[in-house]
Amino acid sequence: MLNPFVFRTDQAVVTLGRIFGAPVKIQGWSWLPVNQLVTLALFTWQSLQRRAGWPLGKHLLLGAARMSVFLGSEWCHNLAHVAAARAVGQPVDGLRIYAGMPILLYDQPEHPSITPRQHILRSAAGPLCNVCLLALSRLFQRATRPGSPAREVADTAAGMNAFIVSGALLPVAEFDGGPVAKWSLAARGVPAARAARILRRANQALGLGLAGAALAALRRRRGWMALLYLLLGAICLVNGLRSGSNPAPQPAETRGYLVERR
């Protein structure tokens, strides 16, 4: 199946400009901010349910504020990767805007010239940025009144950044935690095959732990939390049960591109 994130060969790629040195690219109508529109509609609908007396403009404003911090957290995550990649001297080859969201493009993500330290810094910058945003959101939560619209925006920011940090740091190859763990082991001289084995076991253990956490959350009737743990646990288990020490080879049309998670 053709990877929808990879540029089509029959359509021009337009470069809009550069962010931290990386060309920002779009193709056709694939850049249309679908994620922004869907998220705005969802948050506005939630506001309509919770605050019946408000005019529509106010609902839209709150929806837009929550959408901005929700999707902005993901944008900041990726821009932190771009900035760190440039700072360590291994810049990304581009940033594609797809459905309103950024996708990082690497021609050769595992190029032999990239040192373990550069790999680690490049990958860790994204989650580290969300840790800082999470801390800021917590301060914002403390400064706002429970039940107020401002608190709702702060809760959205805190929830999204906590979600990105916990998801991104899973030791899964396609996420940031995978490369950080893999290259940390490589930097300590652990052979690739053994490192892959260690990561598989870590994923299995984490997957089982998260499944247990999902059950515990379900018992406490925290459905959303249970679903989240279950999702993250399933990702870990699938990764932990992958056979072979190397990731499956990528199909020809995606080779050379590391498509950012989420």
Question: Minimum CB separation from Zn ion for residue 168, in Å?
Answer: 5
Specify the residue, 59 or 122, whose C-beta has the smaller distance to Zn ion: 122
Other CB atoms within a 10 A radius of the CB of residue 12 amount to: 9
Specify the residue, 200 or 261, whose C-beta has the smaller distance to Zn ion: 261
Question: Minimum CB separation from Zn ion for residue 81, in Å?
Answer: 5
Q: Could you give the CA distance from residue 131 to residue 151 in angstroms, rounded to a whole number?
A: 19
Specify the residue, 125 or 214, whose C-beta has the smaller distance to Zn ion: 125
Question: Minimum CB separation from Zn ion for residue 163, in Å?
Answer: 13
Specify the residue, 44 or 130, whose C-beta has the smaller distance to Zn ion: 130
The residue with its CB nearest to Zn ion is 126
- C-alpha pair distances (Å), 229 with each of 206, 211, 218, 239: 10, 7, 10, 15
| 5, 8, 12, 18 alpha-carbon torsion, rounded to 10° | 30
Stretch that binds Zn ion, among 44-52, 146-154, 176-184, 228-236 (CB under 5 A): 176-184
The number of residues in the chain equals: 262
Q: Could you give the CA distance from residue 84 to residue 23 in angstroms, rounded to a whole number?
A: 15
Query: Which residues from 116-135 bind Zn ion, rule CB under 5 A?
Result: 126
176 binds Zn ion (CB under 5 A): yes
Question: Minimum CB separation from Zn ion for residue 104, in Å?
Answer: 8
109 binds Zn ion (CB under 5 A): no
Stretch that binds Zn ion, among 148-156, 159-167, 169-177, 250-258 (CB under 5 A): 169-177
Residue written as tokens 């998670």? 261
Specify the residue, 94 or 149, whose C-beta has the smaller distance to Zn ion: 94
Specify the residue, 154 or 170, whose C-beta has the smaller distance to Zn ion: 170
Per-residue contact flags (x/-) with Zn ion for residues 35 to 64, judged by CB under 5 A: ------------------------------
Cβ–Cβ under 8 Å, residues 133 and 76 = yes
Question: Minimum CB separation from Zn ion for residue 262, in Å?
Answer: 8
Binding site for Zn ion (CB under 5 A): 126, 176
